[in-house]
Structure 1
Amino acid sequence: MTDSPATHGTRRSVLKTTGALLAAGGLLGSTGTVAAADGWATAETPTDRTLHAVVETAAGAFAVGGGGDVLQRTAEGWTRVVDGGPTGNGNDLYGAATTDGGERLWVVGASGAIGEYDVLTGSMVDHSAPNDVTNNFNDVSVVGEPGDANVYIAGDSGKIYSSFGNGATGTWDQVTPGSGSAIEAIDFHGPRSGHAVDGNQTVFATADGGVYENIGIANANVNFYAVDSDGSDSVDVAGGGAMVHRWDGAGWTPTDLGDASLRDIELGGDGGYTVGSGGAVFEYTDGEWRREPTPTGANLKSVRRGETDIAVGASGTVIEK
């Protein structure tokens, strides 16, 4: 699978930049718990609240979760850099994404919470309640440079909210692409091209960021919770029943991984991961999925690949490899 040559701010486009900056700044030193070279190990964190998302940025890995917590991975360990979220009201944060290059971290969550955090300066801009919407936001995807990004948000009400003006007031549009079931996850591989999944076993594709087409998945029989969009003909979806579905532009290929409710999926040309309930981590290498042993039974919510691979989940759980 290949990324768009232009952008993919939500996921892998920041990894090269991140690696260079971290090597220069030494942020990938000891974090309190050192993972074995060939396996996962648990890292200490300053919270026991659920961590819902983890991303790579220009200043290392960040995780977001309950109570509006934003955590950063530093040489001294995981530390809380934001307490209370963008509004300060303690709304849970469910999704996170970065601008191209990883300098801005966008977060979304309960009661319409939206924030834009500068990982280099530590400043937070509150974009919450666009158009006075205070529904829960489940996920976010961002494409573009800091201050000039397209922002896409998955709403629990079944709507997708988009801003082509970096989240500024008056720049937000909304669309209900399906039946009104909650949009669980969203990911864009280009400025206006990407995919979303909802709670009605449906995958949507868009090429203009406004009109969404239903592209399946017929007879899936499981709920979808995660999507990884790498192109119009390269999409992976994960969900209940440990099912992963891959779209090649012509049709869907299902893979049954056994036993877990999968909550996130992260794939690239050289492999990747999907994670879920009961501490489940499956690695994709050499065209095959394999379950990896982990030191936790906690439900995992998100995974990201980087200089250090990281998965996060319930009770402030962070595992690293």
Structure 2
Amino acid sequence: AVAIDQTEHCAPCDPSLGCLDGAFSCVDVADQGTYCAATCESDADCPQAYACGATTDGARCLPSPGDKIAYCNVAAGSIFGYEHPIQETAWVRPGQTYELDSRRLGDLAIYCFGGYRDDAGVFTPTVLGVRRHVFAASGVVDDTVDVQLEHQLKRTFRLRLADPPTWPTGLQPPNIVISLDLGADGVIPFSRTYLDAGDHTWLAPRQLAALSGNLHDTSYFFYTTVQADVTGAYPRAYNLVQHVERVVEDRLPVRDGGAWTLEGKQIQRDLYAVYAATGQQAYAVGEDGLLMLFDGVNWTQQSSQTEEDLHAIDGRGGQDIWAVGDRGAVRHWDGVAWHPVDAPLDNYRAVAAATDGEVVVAGDVRVRSYRDAGWRVEGPPSLQDIHGLAAADDGRVLAVGSHGRVFHRAVGGAWSQVPTPRDLDTTLFAAHFDADDALVVVGAGGAVLVGDTFGLRAVDLGTTADLTALAPTADGGLVVVGDFGTVADRGPDGAWVVDEIPDYRSKAHGVFAPADGGPIRVVGSAAFILGPLLHFPIITAPLHEGSLGDTTLSWTWFGGPEGQFSRLRVYPEAGASIWDLIVEGAERQAILPDITSAAGFDALGSGRRRLEVTRVLNERFDIDSYSTRDLSIYRRDSWSTNQSTFYAP
């Protein structure tokens, strides 16, 4: 707080003593402490650099975040986030008027962002107003375009990049363009300075709480660019998400009678795991110590007595449940209340309630077990970086983690590593003891492993989505959930079927299937997924700055989904493309047609040339029947591109 000398404005105070001047009260200013603040009815009652704001003791004069001001602009014509330069006459203070050049003619919208501008000139928007269906005619001055600031900017979007590409030097921070599409009226840019929340998740503050009022028929457009951290502009990957009406995923998927629906539960924080206690009753844990109870009808929050993220939960019935999380957070439910349990400092990511009162937990460092109020380290030193645990009724434990590692603890307590396919180098997230001592393990990139303690084999389900959790079903099958609403069901006959939860653009973290055959329920992330992202193409022939030995062009990629087609373009050192080839998305090689032999024309010529390879994901594309319209970026979901230069002899 900034005090004003010779006054009690923002003077520190003791709530028990109050302030000397009767016009001031000692108010609690959030986490900044207690200060004297004068009563007010409007900003005019407050000194310069102060504004009349709400406190726990009514309206008081508080330090202003800056100059209260708004700017107005004309909605852009492009959904790619371009904003017309702000005209000097477009800045307006309370009680003033603005003036705009319409920039274009015809139907358009005028929008105004209201907020505060600090001494450094940084503007922070807090509210939006939009006047739609304005007709701009040539040479006409319209002085009736009043804009009401009515849409509060009080929501923060959580945006997560799904399986972004990798590069040896790393990636630059993504460029995320957010636009609000008003249809014929144009586009309002909503891009902000984003905050890195970790795990490829970015926070976009000061967004609309809802698309309501005169914005009820609008939708969002997300255009994301991911670039390798290298000198130059390539390689790059792009993702396009259009016609979005809901950005925060506060609904939970439910499957009843074979059909998926999304129940609006208004849970706007991530849920990381769920445990089915008894019948339809379940507990879920998540972000910032979130702990939820499902009673068969409703979800209600319970006190976990911690603000640390809780990552995992397991139990033995409804009276003995364990939840674990970051910085040694361990909580135990005894049927009456949740109690904290002292534990070694670690970030716990998995828990399994074994037999005879034993609890096994996995942290960033080691796996530990808890029995009779004591902790001990489990297994060999290689038993590290474990992401999932499962316990059998006879005391056996299964641990899965990074680099495709699977460990098994026998009844006697001895740990051993379970053989997995040699080429498996992915993170495994969840495991299950199946019937007849069989094991099932799932993980990143659509990994599914089945077998026993003597060895596991991979099952190809045809998906590259991360698979994060699984649960046995009442009919003897399994249900597996993961990224992008991906669901994989294994029926009682052992056959696998991959499905998708409609309209669920998020990541599932947990699933429970009641033993009585009731509805299957899923918990997951509240973040909106930006993806899929095609991984970068790597040009292998001709080599960069090498000579073209023959007319074969080759490229490859590692990870990520497969595109529908690849576009190859060869350019001279300057100018338009010489060659433009379209090949199927699975192909990694193309041969330039021999025009010289066929027509006596050397189309490639000689000298320095540039090859651009673009992989494209467009599920509506048909390689046997397409036009140039099908190549438009507006019809793409994702694309990635890379370039190299070579010398043609």
- TM, length-normalised to structure 1: 0.76
Instruction: Report the equivalent of 2:369.
Output: 162
Q: Read off the aligned partner of 1:270 and give its amino acid letter.
A: G
Q: Is the partner of 2:358 in helix, strand or coil?
A: strand
| Deviation at residue 75 of structure 1 after TM alignment | 5.1
Change (3 A) 1:200 1:46: same
Instruction: Report the equivalent of 2:482.
Output: 276
Change (3 A) 1:278 1:175: same
Instruction: Report the equivalent of 1:292.
Output: 499
Instruction: Report the equivalent of 1:302.
Output: 510
In structure 1, C-alpha distance between the alignment counterparts of 2:261 and 2:467, rounded to whole Å: 20
| Aligned-pair Cα RMSD in Å | 2.6
Q: Read off the aligned partner of 2:400 and give its amino acid letter.
A: V
Counterparts of residues 43-122 of structure 1 (less than 5 Å): 43-58=263-278, 60-74=281-295, 76-82=297-303, 85=304, 88-99=305-316, 101-118=317-334, 120-121=335-336
Change (3 A) 1:180 1:98: closer
| Deviation at residue 76 of structure 1 after TM alignment | 4.8
Q: Is the partner of 2:403 in helix, strand or coil?
A: coil
In structure 2, C-alpha distance between the alignment counterparts of 1:256 and 1:110, rounded to whole Å: 34
Change (3 A) 1:186 1:254: same
Instruction: Report the equivalent of 1:151.
Output: 359
Runs (5+) with no aligned partner, structure 1: 1-30
In structure 1, C-alpha distance between the alignment counterparts of 2:326 and 2:456, rounded to whole Å: 32
* Contact 1:44–1:77 under 8 Å retained in 2: no
The answer on 1:265 being equivalent to 2:444 is no
In structure 2, C-alpha distance between the alignment counterparts of 1:60 and 1:236, rounded to whole Å: 25
Change (3 A) 1:46 1:105: farther
In structure 2, C-alpha distance between the alignment counterparts of 1:162 and 1:207, rounded to whole Å: 14
* Contact 2:367–2:384 under 8 Å retained in 1: no
Query: Percent identity among equivalent residues?
Result: 25
Change (3 A) 1:197 1:32: closer
Cα offsets for 1:267-320 (capped at 9, x unmatched): 367101111111111111131111223131211111111122111110189xxx
**Structure with greater Cα Rg:** 2
Runs (5+) with no aligned partner, structure 2: 1-250, 529-649
| Deviation at residue 248 of structure 1 after TM alignment | 3.0
* Contact 1:282–1:291 under 8 Å retained in 2: yes
The answer on 1:239 being equivalent to 2:443 is yes
| Deviation at residue 210 of structure 1 after TM alignment | 4.1
Change (3 A) 1:44 1:72: farther
* Contact 1:32–1:76 under 8 Å retained in 2: no
Counterparts of residues 198-277 of structure 1 (less than 5 Å): 198-208=401-411, 210-219=413-422, 220-230=424-434, 233-257=437-461, 258-267=463-472, 270-277=476-483
Change (3 A) 1:137 1:209: farther
Instruction: Report the equivalent of 1:39.
Output: 259
Q: Is the partner of 1:237 in helix, strand or coil?
A: strand
Instruction: Report the equivalent of 1:184.
Output: 387
The ranges of structure 1 where at least 4 consecutive aligned residues each deviate by more than 4 angstroms after the TM superposition are 31-36
Match of residue 341, structure 2, among 127, 141, 145: 127
Q: Read off the aligned partner of 2:285 and give its amino acid letter.
A: V
Q: Is the partner of 2:354 in helix, strand or coil?
A: strand
Q: Read off the aligned partner of 1:96 and give its amino acid letter.
A: I
* Contact 2:442–2:448 under 8 Å retained in 1: yes
Q: Is the partner of 2:526 in helix, strand or coil?
A: helix
Counterparts of residues 19-38 of structure 1 (less than 5 Å): 37-38=257-258
- TM, length-normalised to structure 2: 0.39
In structure 1, C-alpha distance between the alignment counterparts of 2:258 and 2:287, rounded to whole Å: 31
